[in-house]
Amino acid sequence: MLKRYGRWFQKYKNNNVKPENAKFGDLIFFYDDKKKGIIGHVGIVERLNENGEAVFVHSSRGRKGMGSDMLTKASYWGLNFAGIKRVVS
């Protein structure tokens, strides 16, 4: 799975999106090992909240089913953020 996410991340390397410009459906990638550049988790942007932060849905091992989280700089997700890619225009 880790290699698959990394391939997606590289495939869309020219489609970088700034977090404040994220849109519904953009893929949001997170590092599993930041030092090695290994992508270990991916979510889908649901919306931007009133503060302009990306809200995304993803599958989580710690919860049953799908979860929804915000991309904030100080959060776990913010610290492991790799990038946002637009795959559909």
Residue 84 has pLDDT above 70, yes or no: yes
* Structural domains of the chain sorted by starting position, each given as residue range(s) with its CATH number in brackets: 2-85 (3.90.1720.10)
DSSP-derived secondary structure letter, 19? G
4-53 per-position pLDDT tens digit: 677 777 776 678 899 999 999 999 999 988 888 888 889 999 999 999 99
Ranges assigned E (strand) in 1-89: 16-17, 27-33, 38-48, 54-59, 66-70, 81-85
Model confidence, pTM: 0.82
Residue 1: predicted pLDDT:
44
